[in-house]
A and B are shown apart, each in its own frame.
Chain A
């Protein structure tokens, strides 16, 4: 596969009709760790430089009936400067520089061959990002691709290996997709697909290694989709079956999805994207691994966690895998496009498998315990939670957010061509159950046709109970029923690892 990609990029550089374009970019990032973070921030670099070389090569053959495309990026990361809240205090203290695994060095976002043997029949083989949902900030129906940055959807281009057959016609279409699970990955390329090899993964060898993840099942996702243009509305309906795919270990786990998009009054696009499934693979805290004593201390919880480990349980678990209850997720939103080319996007994300207040309380309590133990040097977070799968990460995003609770809103405003060459964007991500949020702002300057300079800022905004508590208002903990850890109210985004983040990026296009 690597050979095919290299040949495509090379041929794209040389061949008639072939094309290549891309960019070189350098991003400087400064982060202020948050003292409100329950988890340790000792591995969060305060300074980071990310240099990216990205190229997209495309080769069209046989009168455009055959397309070979490779979209690849190489990253060089430098990072340093670490700080954490002191073990028994409220102030940041420096942490010695140490090695923290950086983002992937090489990412093949897409690499596929697309063949049109006859008109209205397309066959795609390779790695490709296929997005059928209409949501802008989130795609709750997307169970295949690496998640994207909700403050800038364009940052994540990475897809997954798949075979897809499409029959597109004017006004309607049919698609069938089969995506083998990526079980191991090296240098951005899958080294084990669909089933585990006979040889155990390197990470599970040796003393203190993670458990051998191999099993006997086939890991895949299979989808069939129909699309139609009805009453001026784009309609997509698709059914998906996951079999040990991604983070969902279940076999033959079905999902049904629907997306709609329609423009009203010329300038307002309304969209819906929803999926229904039985149960969920969402992680939650096992309350049996926490002390049930009122006013329990970190030591009490640590004892409960240790007891859990002896019993063979992990403090984080996927509790609803065998649940028969239907748990829908959807996003509903609008994009309004005004005469001055500005765009206002408002979306509401609902996820029935989002955590309730009590479930979030357990997660935050667990995070607080783990944070305390990490800061005291007693235990590392990975010892408790394990490591996330190293496959399918995609390109590094500027902000990685996994919404935990049930209701969220995303409001985004963008104004391009301001003074011709400037684009400003402001985005607010809000947890509606406690009103905590993350706001971001961006100014991009297209200095020439080949150079873009961009400045970003990210800031968590406190939940209403936390803000009231900070102002000394009595009864703040009774407002919107927040999670309370060590006597302090916490909303969903109050535990963000950073108090502020600024980025400057220069991107040269070729």
Chain B
């Protein structure tokens, strides 16, 4: 009668068998990055500060909303001369709403984002899982993957992305390098200021350095980042821009 109970207690008291550590895959690196930096539905407020060659700075405040893998809307809140401008990405299609024009026009997605060192794609199209084919690459900087573009619609042709070492489900992005098709290094990014936004713990700041014009760099700082269960799909139709 007591034997099964003793056996069960013995099992509970026994030291746990070490769980086999599954090797980190390149896909897991990219999936982790997407989950942190661009979850399926979120609403965020961020500030972009562009530092120019002469040392002066320009800052922009914007609110962004994302739904699914293909819909993202960004609304400029400051400065006053950009307030009300909006950008809407629907899959590969990008619209820009200009308050003075009172309408949206289609634009190319590779453009620089407000003259800074981020591209439209950096801000409006973060879906590395869909856009890039990853392979793990050895690096002393952490767990790194090389991402090759699957198509021409993305901002960069190759990205080297590094996360902190350790379990993938607690890893945080640390750095990234962005290349042109020729192999030329265009930008490099450092992720920092990891903080708890309530619904997610992730970097609160990215410093994007321009590797072509070295005096230039832009900083993106998130003031809020709320992962949502859902956002009204009407926020992501062209007719809703300017509302």
User: Which residue numbers of A lie inside 8 Å of B, CB to CB?
Assistant: 19, 21-23, 56, 64, 67, 110, 114, 116, 119-120, 122, 129-131, 134, 136, 153-155, 157, 159, 166, 168-170, 173, 175, 227, 229, 232, 234, 261-263, 266-267, 269, 335, 337, 339, 341, 416-417, 420, 446, 449-450, 452, 509-510
Contacts and interface: CB of A to CB of B under 8 A. Distances in A.
Contacts of B101: 131, 153-154
Contact of A114 (B58, B103, B109, B243): B243
Contacts, number: 105
Interface in B97-123: 98-103, 105-112, 115
A129 B99 CA distance: 11
Cβ-closest 10 pairs across A and B:
A154-B100, A509-B80, A168-B239, A449-B79, A417-B115, A337-B108, A168-B237, A129-B102, A509-B81, A131-B103
B115 A155 contact: no
B80 to A, nearest CB: 4
A119 to B, nearest CB: 6
B139 interface: no
A159 B105 CA distance: 18
Tell me the interface secondary structure of chain B in the complex.
loop
B106 A416 contact: no
Give the interface size class of chain B.
35 or more
A64 B231 CA distance: 12
Interface in B48-83: 52-54, 56, 58-59, 79-81, 83
Given A114-B243, A169-B237, A452 B81 contact: yes
B243 A450 contact: no
Contact of B112 (A155, A269, A417): A417
Interface string B212-243: 00000000000000000000111011111001
A446 B236 CA distance: 31
Given A64-B243, A155-B100, A449-B58, A173 B79 contact: no
Contacts of A449: 58-59, 79-81
Given A266-B152, A449-B58, A168 B240 contact: yes
A234 B103 contact: no
B43 to A, nearest CB: 12
Contacts of B233: 119, 170
A266 B111 CA distance: 11
A234 B106 CA distance: 9
B153 A416 contact: no
Contacts of B54: 420
Contact of B80 (A21, A157, A170): A21
Nearest to A133: B103
Nearest to B237: A168
18 contacts: A22-B80, A67-B243, A119-B232, A120-B234, A154-B98, A159-B102, A168-B237, A168-B238, A168-B240, A173-B239, A229-B93, A261-B105, A261-B106, A262-B106, A417-B112, A417-B115, A420-B52, A509-B80
Nearest to A265: B152
A339 B109 CA distance: 10
A131 B59 contact: no
